[in-house]
Chains A and B, each alone.
Chain A
Amino acid sequence: MNKFTALSSRIVPLAAENVDTDQIIPARFLKVTDKAGLGDNLFADWRYNADGSPRADFILNQTPMKGRQVLLAGDNFGCGSSREHAPWALTGYGFRAVISTSFADIFRNNALKNGLLPIVVDRDTHQQLFSLVAEDPETSVSVDLATQTLRLPDGRAVNFPLDNFSKSCLLNGVDEIGYVLAMQDRIVAYEARAGA
């Protein structure tokens, strides 16, 4: 799995609430058998016109947004389907962290397995971040996973929650499947016990 330790980046603000996985990557792009190229179709229906040209009013198409690694989004980000193509599209585009007040459960799991950090902040911090970016689009934040802190431009450090297991997997790039595969004996014992 992809490691995550720390990053510093400017922010792409996307104020919509309940951004669902059909918006992150529409279903017609799921007809793939690998993970490559999904970033090109991230937010496709908001990002492109019918003829494939970029829509000037969509945030990703505004020039200074290029190369930014942090997405700031509204409440309940990633609701909807279980498609892992959503974090694949976000990381394929170049995002490494998403900040919101909450994430849908399955999206959150999928993101963590792909080195994409879901950062949950309180409403005030969330509001403040949107205002800061509105005032100065060049606003940048830094994220340090080891200390679970998000540092705002005014120097304020905000802690974000993350369970220790996910944190250590991200910090060390742990292969979770390898971790469970190593429990073979216990799985066999369970199967014997449960008659499975």
Chain B
Amino acid sequence: MAKTLFQKIWDAHVVAQEPDSPAVLYIDLHLVHEVTSPQAFAGLRRRGIKARRPDRTFATMDHGIPTSSRDLPIVDELVIKQIAQLEQNCLDNDIRLYGIRQNAEKQGIVHIIGPELGLTQPGMTIVCGDSHTATHGAFGALGFGIGTSEVEMVLSTQCLLQRKPRTMEVKITGALRKGVTAKDIILGIIAKYGVGAGTGYVFEYTGAAIKALTMEERMTICNMSIEGGSRAGMIAPDDTTFQYVAGREYAPKGADWEKALANWRTLPTDEGAGYDATLTLDADALEPMITYGTNPGMGVGINAPVPDPAGLADPSQRAALQKALSYMALEPGRPLLGHPVDVVFIGSCTNGRLSDLREAASLLKGRRVNEAVRVMVVPGSASVKRQAEREGLDKVFLAAGAEWREPGCSMCIAMNGDELRPGQYAVSTSNRNFEGRQGKGGRTFLASPLTAAATAIAGVVADARSLL
């Protein structure tokens, strides 16, 4: 029978399937971070057990840690405690930790280091107590976020109870034009179909525009599947995928590599396999996207006006848009282009990889950021930081007047002191523009690294295409 990529991975991981019960699904890779794991490890201690497969479990610190110099002491007592707990929990359970004191040269945002280390591989089931685990689907893996109770279950059993989701094809036809990026594809899909479209489904991104993307671009798209409501988003593995994985630290080597490769080549969706639903987007017609509201679906092309609540027939949608525009202090009917911003944030698991920094640096090279704007560049991992420095990108950012910081989640989630002040506006390359997400009272416009860099220079929301 013809099967989808999702179906093949699912079938290969079912440990047990009792009638009228969820499947018991085997988990190949479990990634752990400091914020959603302490209560799970406490549960293990209460049961008197240890992690079942520490060899399939890897931990890092990213959410709460400061991104100022690692030589400075951490002041937040709660962060200190979370860090100490993760260190102890990893020690007690024999789990490899990429922390700020252990293996720090490989620390980073959990969804950046998994692929970087070659831990993320096609065909795997991958979970983490973090909703952007969808990122790993870019490799043709089934990656999804779980809650802390489920973290405890995976630590204890290496399995999860899962009900099978339905599949949704997200077909991106055509080719991106100059200055339009992978970030614009995913913001475009979410703007077109809304933040709940994928609820109950797993996305598989297909089409010529997806095939043409690099692995880092594919990760940007899969990363934001959850913003479209889907827990997981996948892309069929191909030579682009295999070339990326080959030679990385945890990638199979020698004869194991050949065997793995033969298996990975069987993963793509078979001819004739059906999806339960399909969404489409034409890349040819896509503009750089920017969000104006308080959920990631409230986005428009950068030249398009902010929609007017008066134009919406549905009363609850109208109320939602009114509420969002009032929080954002925006007038409908005008584009965001030219709107002043206070902060530009370049980083996160969506756009904190080397290619993102290169794109931003390509615009900032030989230019200065506007004096009124604080520009933070936060590499997604210690490796990204090192490579960027090898290429001299840090010098480009610093010479332009931007900050070059240590790796972590930083202002994407604003837990570590990197935050907007009430009322401030930011253009951010991260993934969520919820009220207060980047600091209480802060206002976020989500966009690509190109748009972020162009905005940093202009001091107001700007279209990067005029600088290319």
Number of interface residues of A (CB under 8 A): 52
Beta-carbon contacts of A98-135 to B below 8 Å, as 1s and 0s? 00001111100110011000000000000000000000
**B251 at interface by CB-CB < 8 Å:** no
Residue in B16, B196, B231, B440 whose CB lies within 8 Å of A106:
B231
Distance between A87 CB and nearest chain B CB, rounded to angstroms = 8
**B414 at interface by CB-CB < 8 Å:** yes
Assembly CA distance A125 to B389 (angstroms): 58
Within 8 A of B (CB), among A164-196: 164-165, 176-177, 179-181, 183, 186-187, 190-191, 194, 196
The reply to whether A27 and B196 contact each other, CB–CB distance below 8 Å, is no
Beta-carbon contacts of A48-81 to B below 8 Å, as 1s and 0s? 0010000000000000000000000011100111
The reply to whether B320 and A180 contact each other, CB–CB distance below 8 Å, is no
The reply to whether A84 and B436 contact each other, CB–CB distance below 8 Å, is no
Q: A83-B35, A84-B39, A177-B47 are in contact. List 16 more A-B contacts (CB 8 A).
A: A22-B432, A22-B435, A33-B38, A80-B226, A80-B434, A82-B130, A82-B147, A83-B147, A106-B131, A110-B149, A113-B150, A163-B20, A165-B20, A177-B157, A181-B156, A194-B13
List of B residues within 8 angstroms of A23 by Cβ:
434-436
Assembly CA distance A83 to B38 (angstroms): 12
How many interface contacts (CB-CB < 8 Å) are there between A and B? 177
Beta-carbon contacts of B416-446 to A below 8 Å, as 1s and 0s? 0000001000000000101111001100000
Beta-carbon contacts of B4-16 to A below 8 Å, as 1s and 0s? 0000000011011
The reply to whether A22 and B434 contact each other, CB–CB distance below 8 Å, is yes
Beyond A22-B437, A82-B131, whether A109 also contacts B147 by CB under 8 A is yes
Listed stretches B74-82, B101-109, B204-212, B453-461; interface member: B74-82
List of B residues within 8 angstroms of A27 by Cβ:
63, 413-415, 437
Number of interface residues of B (CB under 8 A): 68
Beyond A18-B295, A80-B434, whether A35 also contacts B39 by CB under 8 A is yes
Distance between A111 CB and nearest chain B CB, rounded to angstroms = 9
**B24 at interface by CB-CB < 8 Å:** yes
Interface residues of B (CB under 8 A from A): 12-13, 15-16, 20-22, 24, 26, 28, 35-36, 38-39, 42-43, 47, 56, 63-64, 76, 78-79, 81-82, 85, 129-131, 145-150, 152-153, 156-159, 161, 163, 165, 195-196, 199-200, 226, 229, 231, 295, 316-317, 319-320, 323, 413-415, 422, 432, 434-437, 440-441
Distance between B36 CB and nearest chain A CB, rounded to angstroms = 7
- Cβ-closest chain A residue relative to B86: A33
The reply to whether A183 and B76 contact each other, CB–CB distance below 8 Å, is no
Assembly CA distance A160 to B42 (angstroms): 34
Assembly CA distance A81 to B413 (angstroms): 10
Distance between B411 CB and nearest chain A CB, rounded to angstroms = 11
Assembly CA distance A75 to B297 (angstroms): 14
List of B residues within 8 angstroms of A76 by Cβ:
195-196, 199, 229
The reply to whether A30 and B295 contact each other, CB–CB distance below 8 Å, is no
The reply to whether B153 and A180 contact each other, CB–CB distance below 8 Å, is yes
The reply to whether A81 and B320 contact each other, CB–CB distance below 8 Å, is no
The reply to whether A45 and B436 contact each other, CB–CB distance below 8 Å, is yes
**A-B CB contact pairs (8 Å), 30 listed:** A17-B317, A17-B320, A18-B195, A20-B295, A20-B432, A22-B434, A30-B35, A31-B35, A31-B76, A31-B415, A32-B38, A34-B38, A34-B39, A50-B422, A76-B196, A76-B229, A79-B195, A79-B229, A80-B434, A104-B229, A105-B200, A109-B147, A114-B149, A165-B20, A177-B156, A180-B153, A180-B159, A181-B157, A183-B24, A186-B16
